[in-house]
């Protein structure tokens, strides 16, 4: 890891230097919430944001995207691979860890070219944060980003302590050599202090150890019915979840009935259609099954990482006020 220091007075020029790598997206306040939006001026940023409504997964798996355009008559199709270069600025550790989970799904023995290309074309710059009452990343081990970013900015009193995890990240430091300095001992001391203090700020706690067994043993527990009765089945939790990545595929035919496109878009396991096959058989026909499936999916491990990063979005945005951690505490028998 390469460490460096960015002084607050040089922040704006550093930010502007990113522009030549692509469009810069950063956290921006949108009415009552926050979202990653294209940022044309550094003043638009809200770097002390608690969380965005839509997680940064949207940069890699688009809410809706074309896979290819086809011509049925000529029996041919044209793949549509985007080449746009993007800088995503100000990503929290939980979201960076969520992207690492998505990588495990999308870049493996059968890599998804669309996702992979976007990952290659995206610079990720992380930023340190403070937990609010919905955050429980500390519990699931994602409160710190070990890697998965190009640069990570840890706020200290007069600027940022920077970690560079990739070649691209190092390059960003190199091109800003006039404004980015070496880290001093006092910066390191403050970084340590702030990291320690941050860990004491968490209010919400979830015990992740053995959660997979607890979920499995709770297969017939009354908790699923209790919360399924509250749940609207709207799928908001899926849309705002940084690790939910189910997608559906649709062919859209143009009016000439010869040409069209194959598109995919985010899907939701809380919707009735998710387990439905042709002929009308549904493998998860009731909301109880769908809710249980979602909690089991989130609580399961993928290559040793739990599929939930503790960002709190599903609780914050649930219109039925279902509290994710509370459900799992009931599953564990910690509360009745």
Partner 1 sequence: MMRQENVLSPTPAKIIKTEKMTEIERLIQLELLNKDFAQSFIYKPGQFIEVSVMGVGEAPISICAARTKPDLLELCVRKVGRVTNAIHNRKEGDILWIRGPYGNSFPMEKMEGNRLLLVGGGLGIAPLRGVLQYALQNREKYGEITVFYGIRCYSMMLFREEFLRLFREGDKQNVKFYLSYEDPEDKECHQLACERSDRCTQGVVTKLFEKTKITPENTYAIICGPPIMYKFVVKELINRNFRPEQIYMTLERRMKCGIGKCGHCIIGDGTSIKYVCKDGPVFTYLDALNTKGMI
Which 79-98 residues touch partner 1, going by CB under 8 A?
79, 81
Nearest to 148 by CA among 109, 201, 91, 203: 91
Half-sphere exposure of 229 (CA within 13 A, CB side): 4
The CA distance from 36 to 55, in Å, is: 8
Q: How far is the CB of 279 from partner 1 (least distance, A)?
A: 4
Which 207-266 residues touch partner 1, going by CB under 8 A?
211-216, 219, 245-251, 253, 257, 260, 262, 264
Residue 329 within binding range of partner 1, rule CB under 8 A: no
- Here's the x/- map for partner 1, 48-77, by CB under 8 A: it reads as -------------------xx-x-x--x-x
**Size of interface with partner 1, in residues (CB under 8 A):** 51
Nearest to 150 by CA among 179, 129, 127: 127
Stretch that binds partner 1, among 29-37, 157-165, 183-191, 271-279 (CB under 8 A): 271-279
- By C-beta, is 39 or 306 nearer to partner 1? 306
Q: How far is the CB of 94 from partner 1 (least distance, A)?
A: 21
Burial 26-38 (b: 16+ CB within 10 A, else e): bbbeeeeebbbbe
The CA distance from 235 to 318, in Å, is: 9
- By C-beta, is 174 or 249 nearer to partner 1? 249
Q: How far is the CB of 67 from partner 1 (least distance, A)?
A: 5
Nearest to 93 by CA among 56, 37, 143: 143
- Contact, 224 vs 292, CB < 8 A? yes
Tokens of 194: 């702030």
Those residues whose C-beta lies under 8 Å from the C-beta of residue 310, and which sit 6 or more positions away, are 94, 135, 136, 137, 138, 139, 140, 142, 143, 206
- Here's the x/- map for partner 1, 280-299, by CB under 8 A: it reads as -x-x-----x--xx--xx-x
Q: How far is the CB of 111 from partner 1 (least distance, A)?
A: 7
- By C-beta, is 232 or 283 nearer to partner 1? 283
The one-character DSSP state at 184 is P
- By C-beta, is 257 or 335 nearer to partner 1? 257
Tokens of 212: 């997979």
Which 101-120 residues touch partner 1, going by CB under 8 A?
105-106, 110-114
Tokens of 104: 């495990």
Q: How far is the CB of 146 from partner 1 (least distance, A)?
A: 24
Q: Which residues bind partner 1 (CB under 8 A)?
A: 67-68, 70, 72, 75, 77, 79, 81, 105-106, 110-114, 211-216, 219, 245-251, 253, 257, 260, 262, 264, 267, 269, 274-279, 281, 283, 289, 292-293, 296-297, 299-300
């Amino acid at each position: 890891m390469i460490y460096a220091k960015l002084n607050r007075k040089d922040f704006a020029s550093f930010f502007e230097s990113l522009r030549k790598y692509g469009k810069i997206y950063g956290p921006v306040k949108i009415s009552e919430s926050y979202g990653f939006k294209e940022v044309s001026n550094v003043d638009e940023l809200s770097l002390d944001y608690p969380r965005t409504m839509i997680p940064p997964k949207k940069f890699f798996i688009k809410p809706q995207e074309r896979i290819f355009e086809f011509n049925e008559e000529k029996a041919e199709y044209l793949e549509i691979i985007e080449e746009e270069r993007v800088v995503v600025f100000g990503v929290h550790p939980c979201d960076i860890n969520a992207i690492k989970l998505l990588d495990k799904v999308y870049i493996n023995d059968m890599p998804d070219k669309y996702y992979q290309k976007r990952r290659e074309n995206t610079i990720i710059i992380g930023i340190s944060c403070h937990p609010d009452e919905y955050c429980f990343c500390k519990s699931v081990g994602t409160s710190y980003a070990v890697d998965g970013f190009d640069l990570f900015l840890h706020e200290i009193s007069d600027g940022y302590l920077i970690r560079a995890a990739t070649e691209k990240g190092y390059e960003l430091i190199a091109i800003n050599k006039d404004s980015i300095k070496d880290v001093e001992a006092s910066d390191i001391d403050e970084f340590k202090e702030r990291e320690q203090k941050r860990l004491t700020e968490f209010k919400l706690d979830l015990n992740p150890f053995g959660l997979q067994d607890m979920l499995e043993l709770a297969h017939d527990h009354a908790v699923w019915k209790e919360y399924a009765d509250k749940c609207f089945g709207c799928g908001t939790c899926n849309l705002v979840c940084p690790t939910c990545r189910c997608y559906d595929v649709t062919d859209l035919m143009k009016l000439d009935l010869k040409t069209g496109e194959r598109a995919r878009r985010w899907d939701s396991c809380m919707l009735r259609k998710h387990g439905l096959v042709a002929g009308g058989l549904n493998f998860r026909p009731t909301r109880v099954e769908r809710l249980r499936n979602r909690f089991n999916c989130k609580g399961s491990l993928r290559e040793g990482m739990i599929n939930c990063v503790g960002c709190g979005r599903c609780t914050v945005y649930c219109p039925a006020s279902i509290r994710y951690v509370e459900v799992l505490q009931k599953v564990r028998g910690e509360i009745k």
